[in-house]
Amino acid sequence: MKILVMGLPGAGKTTLAAQLHKKLKDCIWLNADEVRKEADDWDFSEEGRIRQARRMANLADYEKGCGRIVICDFVCPTDLTRYIFDADFTIWMDTIKKSKYDDTNKIFEKPESYDVRIDRWIDPNLLYSYSVAGSRGIEVTPNFLKELFKKLVK
């Protein structure tokens, strides 16, 4: 299973991915900044972002093919980059309205399709407000991660 944790820079993608990584068994975590560092590719043009989406997809597909759950946290700012990545499960970190990067703010397209949308952080260690795709309201639970894991291991 490929899990995409996406959203604007500073929204909490890496924080959530780290929590998920600790809890899920036989799981690998791919952080976009670390992948970019390994590739020595800091191009944030449209072409660079597409190349990064392909790179993340290729790495995730390999690990998924080995039977692992793969958590990938990266901005994935456009419908095209999300299409290229082709996640099995998407978590949209919608906790901020703009990042400190104007170029990313300008191109960021809110996803039309996602499995979980997280709209706020209560505490870095206790995230508990989220809405499920298709739901009009916000479902609040003190056991967010426990319930998310149930969805992921179905």
Q: What is the mean pLDDT of residues 108-133?
A: 69
Q: Over the stretch 68-95, which tens digit does the pLDDT of each residue have?
A: 999 999 999 999 999 999 999 999 999 8
What are residue 71's DSSP bridge partners?
3, 29
CATH topology of domain 2-152: Rossmann fold (3.40.50)
Q: Which residues, 6+ apart, have CB-to-CB distance to 89 below 8 Å?
A: 1, 2, 3, 4, 115, 116, 151, 152
pTM of the model: 0.85
Identity (one letter) of the amino acid at 137? G
- Does residue 127 carry a pLDDT above 80? no
Neighbours of 91 (CB within 10 A): 25
Question: Could you give the residue ranges of the DSSP H alpha helices within the chain?
Answer: 13-23, 32-39, 46-65, 79-85, 102-107, 144-152
Provide the residue ranges of all domains of the chain, joining segments of one domain with +: 2-152
Q: Over the stretch 22-54, which tens digit does the pLDDT of each residue have?
A: 888 889 999 999 999 999 999 999 999 999 999
Neighbours of 58 (CB within 10 A): 12
Mean model confidence pLDDT for the chain: 85
Q: What is the mean pLDDT of residues 10-28?
A: 89
Q: What are the tokens at 128?
A: 């508990």
pLDDT for residue 136: 38
